Structure 1
């Protein structure tokens, strides 16, 4: 990946110390290797701190406000619905295919799933 995307920042994360250790041994400094449990309580706090930092950054004021507006609209629509909203990832109701199409329509030349566990997916997109 480093050869194809030399200016990309690559971060490998896993809660199992063996996997980042193997990655360090094989790929060295080609990426940052982090041991972290993204499902644990500390990860939730770190995620919240990350969003707080984004919202506080003046460069992201418009995007943060647009995000807050969209979340408020979704919450309002769900509250007004007669039946509870169907469960979906982050409440957006989009399928992986729909996410891919949206990324392509936003100008990304290539989009593909890299990882999936249950209904959680990680997509990679390249302009």
Structure 2
């Protein structure tokens, strides 16, 4: 099921464009995440980072460009996106095929030491509340004291904030950047299905449980994420960057926690 470099490059470039539709100021969000990781790992020669829901390695590639000594473990459940990452960004990460939140997923990471950081972008919003709390607890046990979870995602405000206005501000920014001129998620996958070189990977993807989409109906608000992070053992948690509903949330744990199973 190996891909040619040219094919991987073509599809990753199209992926980067369509993903701009789903993250306001996506590139700035990546930069902020790298800012945080660089800050908390200063003086660490080979920081260990896990990239949750890595897709084709977009965030991992940017992290290693910023932190060349970093060891990134990139995890996703989608075999097609993982193969794009392995082919197009082979040196960015060690790619792991596992479903975040499924039984044993943390063991699949095969970590040899505590994490310095866990990062994610536009990947955790599909988890339900109970699964998200469990994942946050697992990550808290995997991180070293002082380690951070950095999550960039679409996190709406709750009823106490101007949710509709925040969403409107984000849409206006996206309109100014003309991101909606790019193909969307569904169009990208439709086009992939017409590429013969992707047929085996697409068949493998279809054999698995129904892949997640980009639906927004079940998204938990920012306040719920912060509450769950504190319940999970993180000492502090809050947004460090926000534009409309697009947020980068940082959670830090200082206390030593007992290790949990995957």
Give 1 or 2: higher helix fraction: 1
- TM-score with structure 1 length normalisation? 0.40
Give the number of the structure with larger relative contact order, counting CA–CA contacts within 8 Å between residues 6 or more apart: 2
